Structure formats: structure tokens, C-alpha cells
Amino acid sequence: MSIFIESDTRVLVQGMTGKEGSFWTKHMIDLGTQVVAGVTPGKEGLEVEGRPVYHSVRRAAAEHEIDAAMLFVPPRFTKDAVFEALDSGIQKIVTIADGIPLHEMVQIRAAARSNGAMVVGGNTSGVISPGTAMMGMFPYWIERVYTPGRIGVMTRSGSLTNEVTAMVVRAGFGVSSLIGIGGDPVPGTRFAEMLPLYEQDRETDAVVIIGELGGTMEEEVAEAMRDGRFTKPVVAFLGGRTAPKGKRMGHAGAIVTGGKGTVEGKIKALTEAGALVAERPRFVGELLQELLK
């Protein structure tokens, strides 16, 4: 099986009629995603790629079975869009918006957890199971980099993801499921919360983590490995090794606080837990070969 999205996952696209929404809806369909409908307030009656557009999620849910929602919605409207999806019983939500207000992202995460739902993002490229389905904004040349296989990938960085995954494929492996956790300080779902899904997935043999300085998500993975809650091999690459001390770099989540969140500390925690940490993206594939030979 895949993590999060399958070929039969019925997807609703919120913000479907906008420039990004319509463009990526077509790409999602081209990659096999079962997009059933879209939502844009005030645009009911239109169609995008032959899929009907509704005024609200509730109206769409009354006409279609929906398993997941893909949000192409500006940051200031994301909370309302997520809550609308949750109110309609949708359990899997991906939002690509970058710069969702921090206090609203905290509310989104709390609401999702109280509903037993999972929100991926914001500030993410999305989710993909190569050869099966995609929710997000992965480039059209993706087939050359993301081939089906048995390696799971979790990432905080959109730019590093393509490079690292290309090295996984070059080493003779492919990707089972890739989850873009996102680069904001409060992601809807954290690395460690995804680990049980990969642990249970019989089609995932190992997991690659693409992390960076700031936050504690990578240390939480190390803790899960030490506690025996995650038992599959892990290879990690961490961006920000050369970042100047005391500087805020790139993602809003790349902030070191209270002595935690340094790349050095993350490497130490992961290594002591049994993971292999690559010094450069090009070494990720070689380390997978070492672990899985």
C-alpha cells in the first residue's frame, strides 16, 4: 500500500479554478490521482478538466464520496478552508500555502488532531506515491526523478527533495511514498507522527529523512528509533550544516532555540539511534545500499 494517498483515494481540490489550482489539478490527474471535484466559492457550475466545481465543500460532499482534500488556497484563507474540510468529515488534507499565520496553524493542528485527521503542510510540495497518485506541486519532469520503489521519504525542504530523491533512484532504488512535511515552524503533521504509517507499510523497506537546522522533529525520530517504535533502517541528510551561528536561515522553521535544533545535535541524536547521516546529498544512495545490501 501507499502512505496517505492511493490510486483509489478520491480527492477534492479547494481553490480549483485559480491559476495554480487548475494547473496542478491537471497534473495530478495526469499522474493518476482520482480528482472527483473542486471548490471555489461563487464558481459553482464551472468545470476544470471535466470535474465539477462547487460553491462549498459541504455541497461537493453531498454529491461525491471524498477521502482527501488538496488546498490551493492563500495563507489568509487556509484555516477556514481546512476547517470546512474537517467539518465535512475529510480525514486527509494537504495545504501548500507558505506563510500561514502561526496562531492559525496551531489551531489547524489542534483541530485536525481532535478530529482524528491528518493535515500535511503548509509550506510543502505535497505528497506523492510514484506511479500511483499525487497531491501537490511536483514538477512535470518528476517521472525522471521519482520512480516507484520501496524507500519512503519524509522532507522539510522542497528544493533538496528532488536532489536527494534523484540520488536514491541513481543508487537503484525507488520511492514508495514521499511526504513533504513542510518548512514552517508548526507543521500540520510532524516526522515522528508519520513513522507508524511507514512502519506498517509492507512496501517500505527503509526511510530517508531530509531535514534541516531548527526545530526538534529530527530528534523526535531518533527518540522513536531508540524506543523501538520505529524499527526500519533510516538514512538522513540535514541541510544547514554551514549556516552561520545565530542566523535565521530560509524556512521559518529553521530556528535554533534553547540550545536545541542545531544540525550537530540532530546528527548526534540520529547516529546514536542507529541512523546513517549523509554528509552530502550524493551519499544518500550509497548509504541506502550499505543498509539494505
Residues with catalytic roles: 251
CB 261 within 8 A of CB 240: no
Instruction: Report how far residue 19's alpha carbon sits from residue 23's, in angstroms, rounded to the nearest whole number.
Output: 6
261 CB-near residues (< 8 Å, 6+ apart): 213, 214, 215, 216, 255
Contact 262, 243 (CB under 8 A): no
| Cα–Cα distance for residue pair 189/147, rounded to 1 Å | 25
Taking the C-alpha atoms of residue 90 and residue 70, their distance in angstroms, rounded to an integer, is 11
Indicate the DSSP class of residue 98.
S
State the greatest distance between any 2 C-alpha atoms of the chain, in Å, as a whole number.
57
H helix or E strand, kind and range, residue 119: strand 118-121
Helix (H) or strand (E) holding 277: strand 276-278
